[in-house]
Amino acid sequence: SQQGEEDPQALSIQEGENATMNCSYKTSINNLQWYRQNSGRGLVHLILIRSNEREKHSGRLRVTLDTSKKSSSLLITASRAADTASYFCATAPYSGNTPLVFGKGTRLSVIA
Amino acid sequence: DSGVTQTPKHLITATGQRVTLRCSPRSGDLSVYWYQQSLDQGLQFLIQYYNGEERAKGNILERFSAQQFPDLHSELNLSSLELGDSALYFCASSGSGTGGTGEQFFGPGTRLTVL
């Protein structure tokens, strides 16, 4: 079953602009992760934020987590055409090696 | 390259048939997960193995089964295939023990088409 709902479902921006994607989830979590998927290919882990963290940065990525609202956002700054992909949030109920529950994803198109 | 390999990349078969998908995890990873990605259901967790033992079960049909071998590679068996089983099947692996970060490494997937 889907845990997360990403918003928007699709996003189209110009190169250089910032892209913000949101994710909401339903149950308590240990951590939330964001993954990227290029068309029809495997998922690539981007960033993990734990339930006791509020914000995390990695390069041009910034993730926030609000456990009281059960929501997270992924910000990609200064986007590039190569950022064009689908982005998924995934939640883990426990720490360690546990199955992930994925949202439906946001399709990001960055136009050069 | 995630270090997770999956074979075959593509599989085309007919309804009622049986297929086997193979996955080799990253070196040292003891956990293997199988996920199914389809347009209508999205990414769904099917089953997890940890060091040869079944650890967790998700939305896996009774027609599907999996196992993890002593060398840690895993196979997903799909039988009595139906048109609706057409999907991308991903294998993922993660680090050993509960000290693992939880990050999963995904293979390139097997695209199954049932005609």
Residues A70-104 have pLDDT tens digits of 999 999 999 999 999 999 999 998 888 899 999 99
User: A2 with A102: CB under 8 angstroms?
Assistant: yes
Token digits of residue A111: 């136009």
Q: What is the pLDDT of residue A1?
A: 47
Nearest CB to A41 within list B30, B98, B108 = B108
Peptide bond into B8 cis (omega under 30): yes
Quote the longest CA-to-CA distance of chain A: 40
Q: What is the pLDDT of residue A13?
A: 97
Pairing of strands A31-37, B10-13: unpaired
Total Cβ atoms within 10 A of residue B1: 7
Q: Please give the Cα distance from B22 to B77 (Å, whole number).
A: 9
B95 pLDDT band, cuts 50/70/90, is confident
B92 pLDDT band, cuts 50/70/90, is very high
Residues B6-38 have pLDDT tens digits of 999 999 999 999 999 999 999 989 999 999 999
CB-CB under 8 Å, A105 with B88? no
How many beta-carbon contacts under 8 Å exist across A and B? 75
Q: Please give the Cα distance from B37 to B41 (Å, whole number).
A: 7
User: B86 with B113: CB under 8 angstroms?
Assistant: yes
What is the rounded average pLDDT for all residues in chain B? 93
Residue B44, amino acid? Q
Listing DSSP states for A64-105 in one string gives: EEETTTTEEEEEE-S--GGG-EEEEEEEESSSSS---EE---
CB contacts, 8 Å: B99 with chain A: 96
Residues B32-84 have pLDDT tens digits of 999 999 988 889 999 999 999 999 999 899 999 999 999 999 999 999 999 99
Nearest CB to B45 within list A31, A45, A99 = A99
Name the DSSP class of B84.
Answer: G
CB contacts, 8 Å: B95 with chain A: 97
Q: What is the pLDDT of residue B60?
A: 95
Token digits of residue B38: 């389809």
* A99 half-sphere exposure, CB direction, 13 A CA radius: 24
Residues A18-68 have pLDDT tens digits of 999 999 999 999 999 999 999 878 999 999 999 999 999 999 999 999 999
Q: What is the pLDDT of residue B96?
A: 60
CB-CB under 8 Å, B99 with A96? yes
